[in-house]
Structure 1
Amino acid sequence: MIEGNFGDSGQLFFEIDLITSDGLNLPVDAMLDTGFTGFLAINKQDLQCFDWAYIGEEPLQTAKGESRFDIYLGTVILNEYEYEINVYVGDEIMEVLLGSEWLKILPLVVNYQAGILTLG
């Protein structure tokens, strides 16, 4: 189980490790976005250092309508487990995003009043 923290506007943040193709672990704060239905989304400029394998393109419904994203096969460590997942890459992604796909395999516990935020 990983503990998260609450952002100033109530956002949910978790520290995860993104793994480069040569095995380097890069810790990042990722924001949980339940409106995003994939596992992970990052900005295109952040992609360069990971050297992940390109899979193709995929359309995805966003708050601004349907957009096309590049998909890469990336590796992350979350909750002490390593996952190989599809990563959505786009130009207008401001934060590293964890999507709702994680909620299908990891339980989320949120209690703002008690300051409890856990995933896994």
Structure 2
Amino acid sequence: MIFGEFNSKGELIFEIGLIAADGDIIPVQALLDTGFTGTLAIDNQDALSLGWLRESQREDMRTAQGEAQFNLYQGTVLLDEEEFMISALGGDELQDILLGVRWLQTKRLVADFPAGVLTLG
């Protein structure tokens, strides 16, 4: 189980590890976005700097700003002390690393605002 925090906007923030192609683990703050149906969204430059492999196809998705096309990357994340090989969506100028609701198919989310408790695991 990993512990998260609520930021000043009430968003759900978790620290995860992005695993670079050379094995380095980069700790990052990721925002759990319940409107995002994938596993992870990351800026293209970040995915490339990690050495993640880009797939040849692209994926169309509806975003808050409308339809957008994303690159697909094969990457590895460290979540709850487990490594997961994932397909990540890569976009230009993404401000946050996003965790999608797909994680909730295998991880239990507890978000208790009044008690200040936020866990995923």
TM bracket (short chain)? over 0.9
Q: Tell me if 1:40 matches 2:40.
A: yes
CA RMSD of aligned residues (A): 0.9
For 2:10, what is the secondary structure of its paired residue?
Answer: coil
Per the TM alignment, residue 20 of structure 1 is displaced from its structure 2 partner at its CA by 0.4
Aligned residue number for residue 2 of structure 2: 2
Work out whether 1:30 is the aligned partner of 2:33. Answer: no
Q: What TM-score results when the alignment is normalised by the length of structure 1? A: 0.96
Residue 53 of structure 1: how far off its partner (Å) = 1.1
> How high is the sequence identity, in percent, across the aligned residues?
49
Q: Stretches of 4+ moved more than 4 A in 1?
A: none
How many corresponding residue pairs? 120
1:99 aligned residue: 100
Partner of 1:68: 69
User: 2:51 and 2:93 mapped to 1: Cα distance?
Assistant: 20
d(CA) in 1 for partners of 2:67, 2:118: 31
* Alignment match, 1:53: 53
1:65: Cα distance to partner?
Answer: 1.8
TM-score by length of 2: 0.95
Consecutive unaligned residues in structure 1, runs of 5 or more:
none
